[in-house]
Amino acid sequence: MTTNLTLAVAQVGGINTSETKEEVVARLITLLEEAATSNAELVVFPELTLTTFFPRTWLDDDQVGKYFETSMPNSDVQPLFDRAAELAVGFYLGYAEQTSDGRRFNTSILVDRDGAIVGKYRKMHLPGHDDNKTGLPNQHLEKKYFQEGNLGFGVFDFHGVSIGMCLCNDRRWPEVYRSMALQGAEVVVLGYNTPDFVPGWQEEPHAKMFTHLLSLQAGAYQNSVFVAAAGKSGFEDGHHLIGGSAVVAPSGEILAKAGSERDEIVVVKVDLESAQPYKESVFNFAAHRRPDAYTIISDRKGRGEPLPLSFNVNE
Ligand code: CDT
């Protein structure tokens, strides 16, 4: 049984619209090579890693098409697959996917150390809006450009380690981690793009980093998993995205965090066994969970009235 995994989060500094996918992939290979020198076995790249965070801009169908990948790997990304296989380093990569029948998803894949795609995820929680909100610093058009994910919250085997994947906004929803932990996930990997400005998202600037890290830490602790999160960070065409790429332990503690908003590798050798005490005590799911009392979570989507009481409060 594998007990150690050397995990790297590859934070990618801003990607301007003018940058080609070839140039971006060259940056990713440099990060991968740096991670390999620290013996990384799995490198986590961000959400929509290959391009600028295009959902900030209202574009018509023709204009946005260039941001989508119609196959994976393809000639732009093949050099990353080749170099990773040469170095025997696996990776998680977020990208915009267009299927052969024209559906578009915000997707991530898990590639093993031999270069084979062993996992796929399509973002379930799409934030933002689909209408054209003009006159703002930027928009957040994930609901316009992507369909909701349809592959569930899968858990995949990565050389003996059970890995769950999600993408950005998913990290803020507790159901995501729990769905994967119930399938035995040991590590949850995710990429993100968190802009300073999102229409309709009221949050103090200082709280942006706090709520990002809080989500990772709570997800890790409450589910006895490691969480590795890589952001696309810094400025893209003048629009700022937060940094804070990090690896978090099942204790909820941050093991390592990027210190910049540029291309940066953070590597941590994690001891997967260190999750065991949590799984056997406070979060022994089989002993303590009450799924019979949680049906409202899947039955109800939005906030509503209290459920009718099935007992007399005075008895
Ligand atoms: N890419 C992405 O999902 N970003 C969102 C922005 C906030 S939407 C309220 C995030 O959760 O970081």
Model pLDDT for residues 186-236, shown as the tens digit of each residue: 999 999 999 999 999 989 989 999 999 999 999 999 999 999 999 999 999
Model pLDDT for residues 253-296, shown as the tens digit of each residue: 999 999 999 999 999 999 999 999 999 999 999 999 999 999 99
Question: In this structure, is the dihedral angle defined by the CA atoms of residues 200, 13, 46 and 15, taken in order, positive or negative?
Answer: positive
Q: Which tokens hold the place of 97?
A: 């996917």
Residue 70 has pLDDT above 70, yes or no: yes
Residue 122 pairs with which residues in a beta bridge?
107
State residue 2's pLDDT score.
74
Model pLDDT for residues 293-309, shown as the tens digit of each residue: 999 999 999 999 999 99
Residue 187 pairs with which residues in a beta bridge?
163, 226
Percent of the chain with pLDDT over 90: 99
Largest separation between any pair of C-alpha atoms in the chain = 70
Q: Which tokens hold the place of 298?
A: 């899947």
State residue 303's pLDDT score.
98
Classify residue 71: in a domain, yes or no. Answer: yes
Classify residue 155: in a domain, yes or no. Answer: yes
Residue 185 has pLDDT above 90, yes or no: yes
Residue 243 has pLDDT above 80, yes or no: yes
This prediction has a pTM of 0.98
CA of 240 to the centre of ligand 1 (A): 13
The CA distance from 14 to 6, in Å, is 26
CA of 168 to the centre of ligand 1 (A): 6
CA of 91 to the centre of ligand 1 (A): 22
Residue 262 lies in domain:
4-299
- Active-site position among 41, 69, 123, 208: 123
Residue 162 has pLDDT above 90, yes or no: yes
Mutate to test the pocket of ligand 1, among 56, 121, 166, 192 (most ligand atoms within 8 A of CB): 192
26 confidence band (pLDDT: 50, 70, 90): very high
Mean pLDDT, residues 244-253: 98
Q: Which residue's CA is minimally distant from atom 8 of ligand 1?
A: 127
Classify residue 70: in a domain, yes or no. Answer: yes
Classify residue 314: in a domain, yes or no. Answer: no
The domain tally of the chain equals 1
Residue 99 has pLDDT above 80, yes or no: yes
Of residues 8, 14, 16, the one with CA closest to residue 44: 8
CA of 173 to the centre of ligand 1 (A): 11
**Phi first, then psi: what are they for 295, rounded to 5°?**
-60, -30
Residue 189 contacts residue 165 (beta carbons within 8 Å) = yes
Give me the CATH number covering residue 19. Answer: 3.60.110.10
Classify residue 308: in a domain, yes or no. Answer: no
The CA distance from 9 to 254, in Å, is 13
- Residues with CB under 6 Å of ligand 1 are 47, 127, 168-169, 172, 192-194, 198, 201
Mean of the per-residue pLDDT values of the chain: 98
Mean pLDDT, residues 240-257: 98
Q: Which tokens hold the place of 118?
A: 């062993």
* 191 SS3 class: strand
Q: Which tokens hold the place of 120?
A: 């796929």
172, containing H or E segment: none
Classify residue 313: in a domain, yes or no. Answer: no
Classify residue 60: in a domain, yes or no. Answer: yes
1 confidence band (pLDDT: 50, 70, 90): low
Residue 112 contacts residue 85 (beta carbons within 8 Å) = no
Q: Is 143 a catalytic residue?
A: no
The CA distance from 36 to 191, in Å, is 19
Model pLDDT for residues 119-158, shown as the tens digit of each residue: 999 999 999 999 999 999 999 999 999 999 999 999 999 9
**Phi first, then psi: what are they for 184, rounded to 5°?**
85, 15
* Pair type for strands 187-192 and 226-236: parallel
Of residues 185, 203, 190, 177, the one with CA closest to residue 231: 190
Classify residue 145: in a domain, yes or no. Answer: yes
Residue 18 has pLDDT above 90, yes or no: yes
Q: Which residue's CA is minimally distant from atom 6 of ligand 1?
A: 194
What Å distances lie between residue 148 and 23, 107, 126, 144, 155, CA to CA?
29, 10, 7, 10, 19
Mean pLDDT, residues 54-74: 97
Atom number in ligand 1 closest to CA 168: 3
Which residue has 């035995």 as its token pair? 184
